[in-house]
């Protein structure tokens, strides 16, 4: 995997203000407001910043949390984990390993087979619909 490295000014020029805030400054969108939280379309969810494939619609499910939720990434190597101790709690932040974009958090309350819930901000994602063969 080739690391994508840009300056803050370069990211600001590429991303709208809301996406920059979420992906580069570790912000979050309000529950039930993101573009993809209730999407059921088939396809792939890529990183909004660098285009890396992150999640498949095949692993997306309705967690009731108000954010797009997945039980596993496309590739275990593409998602990085960091400890997040903001807001008076300890959580596991997830980032794109290719460009370090903040994606959301992962929780141990998801469905089988992984038992994980990757709770992702829609602003961190770019959806690529499945192409009919």
Among all residues, which ones are annotated catalytic? Answer: 119
100-110: buried (b, 16+ CB within 10 Å) or exposed (e) per residue?
bbbbbbbbeeb
Judged by DSSP in three states, 82 sits in strand
Tell whether omega for the bond before 113 is within 30 degrees of 0, i.e. cis. yes
**Please, what's the b/e burial string for 8-45 (b: 16 or more CB within 10 A of its CB; e: otherwise)?**
eeebeeebeeebbbbbbebebbeeeebebbebeeeebb
DSSP 3-state assignment of 102? strand
């Amino acid at each position: 995997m080739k690391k994508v490295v840009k300056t803050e000014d370069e990211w600001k020029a590429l991303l709208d203000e809301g996406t920059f805030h979420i992906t580069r400054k570790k912000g979050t969108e309000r529950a039930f407001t993101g573009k993809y939280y209730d999407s059921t379309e088939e396809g792939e969810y890529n990183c909004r910043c660098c285009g890396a494939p992150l999640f498949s619609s095949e692993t997306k499910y309705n967690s009731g949390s108000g954010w797009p939720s997945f039980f596993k990434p496309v590739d275990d190597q593409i998602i990085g984990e960091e400890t997040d101790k903001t807001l008076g709690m300890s959580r596991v932040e997830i980032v794109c390993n290719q460009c370090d974009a903040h994606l959301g958090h992962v929780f141990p309350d998801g469905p089988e087979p992984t038992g994980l819930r990757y709770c992702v901000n829609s602003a961190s994602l770019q959806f690529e619909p499945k192409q009919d063969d």
